[in-house]
Chains A and B, each alone.
Chain A
């Protein structure tokens, strides 16, 4: 290095606030994110995480890209029924996975390390059964414990398919705060008693997961997932949606900033530690100072569609789909053909029986 030279003289314009942010403005960012990997043209994506992850699946579908729906609604299900039973929102019917601890539970279920019997169930006063991992997955709960566990098992199988068949597993980290069962260690997706379950202060304890705990849970989950598919790439994002409430005792604004900061730090560090993990800055696009909160709805919590569009614009701009297509299909057209063939066969039998009535020979 010559005299008067310094490392900053060799940094691209994207490394300076003035040239990368202040001058281009919010809609002029370039090179905000470039995928760490070259992917096949027909790369298969699975999406999970907090509610913000839903936007990614919708955008992938809108672009007719390969979004893996490993637990789709049965054929001929009207859209409103599919929605109310939480089909087509994430790549399997996990519901929102808010915390790394919950991701670890699903990874354990998928790997067979634990079974559906490990998931806590709750029976409501109308005798409907809810699994506390996905308390709102069925609008009125399950008819029996057997059905609830069978459903968890099916979702775990679908979740496993997402790991083994996807090229990229997109996971949006949502919360550090959660609730757990002090006796069993079961992590809840919502606090028991807030809609589903009944709150017992002796059993249900608040947990604000710390950086080391989240890092550990995420690493453990990824390790299990890579055992199932060593080629799986993981794209982490952090939801920019603020906390609706905090049980930490802090002001919710402070709690939100803490939560998002920890998640952001974990995501960044995990991405830096593994070549197969990348971080996509949806949080930064929505929630950092240059937006002046412009993409938040008037309640300063919901994200406006324009913000989602901007996020997804950067996502698609940064994706590198330069490798040749691998040609793997994600549709179950063979199953559908077989089912239709069987139905047609039954139909034929019925029609033939009716026609035979006219045979007077």
Chain B
């Protein structure tokens, strides 16, 4: 069966996949662990996305190719929903090594440790996400790519700021980003991500969250 959407990303695509399934939105999923999207562990060629050193990732791609009869899974002609790049805990772990914290309206000023400026974190995120953004831009040349940043849960203040910065960098790079925090949850009574959508683990959102997001994308004709 031809899917209506192709989900590409890390473990954060699980909620979106579950939501799509609950809504009866046919989907294919190519998923690697967050580490699979890091530091040259994936590439891009005429066959589309090529995971390196990830047998699980290669098998997933092969499966979609076989089922859909395509070589490049991006040529399915369906919107691509992706969480690529938002493996924030890993992205900002270098700041934890040295005890750096960014200044945020949402967190008390650090009275110990070091401070990293927003300008620094922007340069840092840009450096560590250049390849991800390049791949997303290449993907966007072949399919309608919609980046859905995972909800900011289970991450520290540096992760929150890195998320904001990465969204800005992606938009600046011409990518379409649908941020559920702004588009769907900005008017919640409590600030932040609604706790009713947080899984037990506690870094991921629930299937109900995925359903809300997928329903909104459908209602806005983004998929």
- A residues at B contact (CB < 8 Å): 71-78, 81, 84-85, 138-144, 146-147, 150-151, 153-154, 157-158, 332, 335-336, 338-340, 342-343, 346-347, 349-351, 353-354, 357
Would you give 24 A-B contacts (Cβ < 8 Å), ordered by A?
A71-B114, A74-B100, A74-B116, A75-B93, A81-B123, A85-B117, A85-B120, A138-B119, A142-B118, A144-B103, A146-B109, A151-B117, A154-B113, A157-B114, A336-B98, A338-B96, A339-B96, A346-B34, A346-B90, A347-B89, A350-B11, A350-B35, A351-B11, A354-B10
Q: Is B173 an interface residue (CB 8 A)?
A: no
CB-CB < 8 A to B43: which residues of A? none
Q: Which residues of chain B in 78-101 are interfacial with respect to chain A, using CB atoms and an 8 Å cutoff?
A: 87, 89-90, 93-100
- Cβ A354 vs Cβ B33 within 8 A: yes
- Cβ B103 vs Cβ A74 within 8 A: no
CB-CB < 8 A to A85: which residues of B? 117, 119-120, 123
- Cβ B94 vs Cβ A75 within 8 A: yes
Number of A-B contacts (CB under 8 A): 128
Q: Which residues of chain B in 143-166 are interfacial with respect to chain A, using CB atoms and an 8 Å cutoff?
A: 154
- B residues at A contact (CB < 8 Å): 10-11, 14, 31-35, 56, 87, 89-90, 93-100, 103, 109-120, 123-124, 127-128, 154, 201, 203-204
- Cβ A74 vs Cβ B119 within 8 A: no
- Cβ B117 vs Cβ A142 within 8 A: yes
- Cβ A354 vs Cβ B31 within 8 A: yes
- Report which of B14, B35, B99, B119 forms a contact with A335, defined as CB distance below 8 A: B99
CB-CB < 8 A to A147: which residues of B? 103, 115, 117-118
Given the interface pairs A74-B116, A350-B11, A353-B204, the reply to whether A150 lies near B96 with Cβ below 8 Å is no
The answer for the CA separation of A81 and B32 in the assembled complex, in Å, is 30
Given the interface pairs A142-B119, A151-B115, A347-B34, the reply to whether A74 lies near B124 with Cβ below 8 Å is yes
CB-CB < 8 A to A73: which residues of B? 98
CB-CB < 8 A to A139: which residues of B? 119
Given the interface pairs A81-B123, A347-B33, the reply to whether A335 lies near B93 with Cβ below 8 Å is no
Instruction: For residue A272, give the distance in angstroms from its CB to the closest CB of chain B.
Output: 37
- Cβ A354 vs Cβ B11 within 8 A: yes
CB-CB < 8 A to A153: which residues of B? 109, 111, 115
The answer for the CA separation of A249 and B203 in the assembled complex, in Å, is 65
- Cβ A74 vs Cβ B117 within 8 A: no
- Report which of B11, B14, B120, B128 forms a contact with A76, defined as CB distance below 8 A: B128
Instruction: For residue A147, give the distance in angstroms from its CB to the closest CB of chain B.
Output: 4
Candidate in A77, A81, A157 with the most chain B CB atoms within 10 angstroms: A77
Candidate in A140, A141, A151, A154 with the most chain B CB atoms within 10 angstroms: A154
- Cβ A349 vs Cβ B203 within 8 A: yes
CB-CB < 8 A to B33: which residues of A? 347, 350-351, 354
- Report which of B14, B114, B118 forms a contact with A357, defined as CB distance below 8 A: B14
Instruction: For residue B208, give the distance in angstroms from its CB to the closest CB of chain A.
Output: 16
- Cβ A342 vs Cβ B120 within 8 A: no
- Report which of A75, A84, A154, A357 forms a contact with B97, defined as CB distance below 8 A: A75
- Cβ A150 vs Cβ B94 within 8 A: no
Given the interface pairs A76-B128, A77-B124, A147-B103, the reply to whether A340 lies near B93 with Cβ below 8 Å is yes
Instruction: For residue A109, give the distance in angstroms from its CB to the closest CB of chain B.
Output: 14
- Cβ A74 vs Cβ B97 within 8 A: yes
Least CB separation from B95: chain A residue = A74
- Report which of B116, B119, B203 forms a contact with A346, defined as CB distance below 8 A: B203
Instruction: For residue A95, give the distance in angstroms from its CB to the closest CB of chain B.
Output: 14
The answer for the CA separation of A346 and B33 in the assembled complex, in Å, is 11
The answer for the CA separation of A169 and B117 in the assembled complex, in Å, is 27
| A-B interface, 8 closest residue pairs, ranked by CB to CB distance from nearest | A75-B94, A339-B96, A75-B97, A76-B94, A154-B115, A350-B11, A346-B89, A336-B97
- Cβ A350 vs Cβ B10 within 8 A: yes
- Report which of B35, B98, B203 forms a contact with A72, defined as CB distance below 8 A: B98
CB-CB < 8 A to A75: which residues of B? 93-98
The answer for the CA separation of A76 and B34 in the assembled complex, in Å, is 17
- Cβ B120 vs Cβ A138 within 8 A: yes
The answer for the CA separation of A340 and B95 in the assembled complex, in Å, is 11
Least CB separation from A342: chain B residue = B96
Instruction: For residue A164, give the distance in angstroms from its CB to the closest CB of chain B.
Output: 14
- Cβ B14 vs Cβ A353 within 8 A: yes
- Cβ B10 vs Cβ A343 within 8 A: no
The answer for the CA separation of A150 and B100 in the assembled complex, in Å, is 12
Least CB separation from A152: chain B residue = B115
- Cβ B93 vs Cβ A150 within 8 A: no
Given the interface pairs A343-B93, A357-B14, the reply to whether A143 lies near B34 with Cβ below 8 Å is no
